[in-house]
A and B are shown apart, each in its own frame.
Chain A
Amino acid sequence: MIITTTLYDQLSAQYAERETATAEPWLSRLRANAFASFTANGFPTTKNEEWRFTNVTPYLKEAYQLQPAAPANGGSAIDLSALDAYEVVINNGIPVELPVAKGLSIHSLKEAANSPIVQQYLGQSINLSQQGFAALNTALFTDGLLIEVDKNASIDKPLLITHHYNAAWPFFAQPRLLLIAQRSSKLSVIERYVVDGQAALFVNGVTECVVAENAQLDHYHIQATPTNFHLVNFTQVSQKADSLYNNHTYTLPGASLVRNNLHLDLQASNTESHLFGLYLAGGSQLVDNHTLVNHANPHCYSNELYKGVLADSARAVFNGKIMVQLDAQKTNAFQQNNNMLLSDKAVVDSKPQLEIFADDVKCSHGSTLGSFDENALFYLKARGIGEDSARNMLVKAFAFDVTQQMPIAAVRDCVEALITQKMESLYDRV
């Protein structure tokens, strides 16, 4: 009976089954290497430095199945109705609606697996031997999206990707996205999650982005999900010369576990990158953001600002690494992590890291930890503003440096409304 087998056994069985099926030789090799990388170490434990503060083992104990049950409808959604966008829906990891837009081609990754562009890029940018979850996804992903922005195409509307999950029993999903922004193209992508039903969900997602010469990619990731949701996400970005990549990652109260890995590989000179993150956590949530910006070439600029607000007994990890290689002269790299703790039981592990091998660079990093400014609270209350409103204003003000960075007003409004709504539910429990 399949239900009694462990997740690991199921994954092994799925791989064995997959191996016998016919596939492109290059893809079989990629999957074989990836699976070997995964089985060499298995799921990461806290003995792995990159997972020191995040023990995933308890979260993997659910009786996850690799296939979802028949869909159930209803449930929670992030209201982005004000956004005029091209929309893609990925239902339990399988794309079901693919929009047509000028300059933008969107395919099911499964169906496009034979195309040269997939062969050229898929799995090429990730160091699989050190990324167990990403290796597992590479070995076993069944479907996802191939998104390609044509050369010189500036897409008129953002692309909204909705990851919709509605499994009736515990489901372990491994979606895969490959996004290529060709030379001098421009696109905004918004990823969000919609979760129906009460069954536990574990999503091990991998997204690879290639931002070609002079291209611009604005990437939003909005994670507002219920407690039955668990996410380990790996985003690998390869930037070519003169490219611009902006990432906005928002984790809101809900999901029991969120681990975001965001790796930027600056593969040529004169690139610009911005990483903005906000995590609000309550209950017993664990939110872990691991970022790596690899400055391998001269004259690149990167700026990172992550802010966190933690209530109840929530835990957060920020691990930001900036690597400045020997050749990366004239690098400008900045990183800042600020945290606000609203409860005595909340914990933050903040680990900013800077490794510099070049000698002509401008770099900075910093981390702060604080609580509500009592003087500011008193000032607001002394004007007749109630405790909850005052706290809400201060949280929004704290988040403001991050939220104001979102250029699309409809997304910004949606996220700000979510912050208000989710924070109110946290205060109710205080």
Chain B
Amino acid sequence: MLSIKNLQAGIDGKQILKGINLEVNAGEVHAIMGPNGSGKSSLASVLAGRETYEVTGGEVIFDGKNLLDLSVEDRAREGLFLAFQYPIEIPGVSNINFLRTALNEIRAYRQEPPMDAKEFLRMTKEKQQLVEFDAKLVNRSLNEGFSGGEKKRNEIFQLAMLEPKLAILDETDSGLDIDALRIVSNGVNKLRSDKNAFVVITHYQRLLEYIVPDFVHVLYNGRIVKSGTKELALELEERGYDWIKEPAYSNS
């Protein structure tokens, strides 16, 4: 589904991603871990198409298409979803209107007719229950005055509504208390299927107790320096990141 080959990117001439290789297939959950500043969020931003990043090398194929050639909105319309680390507050844009616009623009891209109001309402209700998102928040301005946890839950609600092929969760767990973490994780687990895939970016192993990954990758200094199964996450939790940073690994 997603094939990243030797991806290099940076900001203002400063290289941040120094050759990332990653293969994600349908039905898989990949966790990307790593210390602060290793390039985790940059990878998410580059995949979603944030303009501040300049891609200097490599390629990304998403479902047979060259992802890096697509505009931000077309990447989303092709089925890529980024759950933001810091969701933006937009006063004056209602959550529901935002979702309807997004959903219908994605449908138009796929040459499907707009969803009728009744069906949209039914779907909203169903998904909002599925991910335990407060019905009152659905009608409010987009993220305005939401708590940190509510914003993250709204990301998962949007994910449920837009049904992407590939979802990238950028530190969705940061700033969440244990109850919010459980709700967010339950939502993701309910949305997992053999047709979609998840890339879960996290700093902490804690999230991976709830969303169990098939693969764990460690990103350090712009490269994936180690890959393994969920046991790797436990090892990281126990030993920290220092042993990964040893020169021996960067040679391997």
B102 adjacent to A385 (CB under 8 Å): yes
Chain B proximity of A340: nearest CB distance (Å): 12
Neighbour of A385 across the interface among B48, B91, B101, CB < 8 A: B101
Chain B proximity of A133: nearest CB distance (Å): 35
Q: For residue B88, which residues in chain A have a CB less than 8 angstroms away from its CB?
A: 373, 375-376, 379
B162 adjacent to A400 (CB under 8 Å): no
In the assembled complex, the Cα of A397 lies from the Cα of B101 at a distance in Å of: 14
Question: Does chain A have a CB within 8 A of B84?
Answer: yes
- Interface majority SS on A: helix, strand, loop or mixed? helix
B90 adjacent to A385 (CB under 8 Å): no
B90 adjacent to A384 (CB under 8 Å): no
Q: For residue B135, which residues in chain A have a CB less than 8 angstroms away from its CB?
A: none
Q: Which of B72-80, B189-197, B216-224 contacts A (4 or more CB under 8 A)?
A: B72-80
One digit per residue, 1 when the CB lies within 8 angstroms of any chain A CB and 0 when it does not, for chain B 161-199 equals: 010000000000000000000000000000000000000
In the assembled complex, the Cα of A384 lies from the Cα of B76 at a distance in Å of: 5
A397 adjacent to B91 (CB under 8 Å): yes
In the assembled complex, the Cα of A413 lies from the Cα of B67 at a distance in Å of: 39
How large, as a class, is the contact surface on chain A? 20 to 34
A400 adjacent to B105 (CB under 8 Å): no
Q: Which of A52-60, A93-101, A280-288, A387-395 contacts B (4 or more CB under 8 A)?
A: A387-395
Chain B proximity of A162: nearest CB distance (Å): 30
B98 adjacent to A393 (CB under 8 Å): yes
Interface residues of B in 39-84 (CB under 8 A from A): 48-51, 71-73, 75-77, 81-82, 84
Interface residues of A in 379-426 (CB under 8 A from B): 379-387, 389-390, 393-394, 396-401
Chain A proximity of B71: nearest CB distance (Å): 7
Question: Does chain B have a CB within 8 A of A8?
Answer: no
A393/B76 contact (C-beta < 8 A), A379-B84, A379-B90, A383-B158 known: no
Question: Does chain B have a CB within 8 A of A357?
Answer: no
Chain A proximity of B94: nearest CB distance (Å): 9
Q: For residue A382, which residues in chain B have a CB less than 8 angstroms away from its CB?
A: 48-49, 72-73, 75-76, 81-82, 84
In the assembled complex, the Cα of A47 lies from the Cα of B162 at a distance in Å of: 58
A393 adjacent to B91 (CB under 8 Å): no
Question: Does chain B have a CB within 8 A of A43?
Answer: no
In the assembled complex, the Cα of A387 lies from the Cα of B81 at a distance in Å of: 17
Q: Which 10 pairs across A and B sit closest by C-beta, in order of nearness? A: A397-B92, A400-B92, A384-B76, A381-B72, A383-B102, A379-B88, A384-B106, A381-B73, A397-B93, A384-B77
19 contacts between A and B (CB under 8 A): A373-B88, A376-B88, A378-B50, A378-B51, A379-B88, A381-B49, A381-B71, A382-B76, A384-B73, A385-B98, A385-B101, A385-B105, A387-B73, A390-B73, A394-B93, A396-B92, A397-B91, A397-B93, A400-B91
A-B contact sample (12 more), CB < 8 A, given A384-B106, A393-B93: A379-B84, A379-B87, A381-B49, A381-B73, A381-B76, A382-B49, A382-B76, A383-B76, A384-B77, A394-B90, A394-B93, A397-B91
Q: Which residues of A contact B (CB under 8 A)?
A: 373-376, 378-387, 389-390, 393-394, 396-401
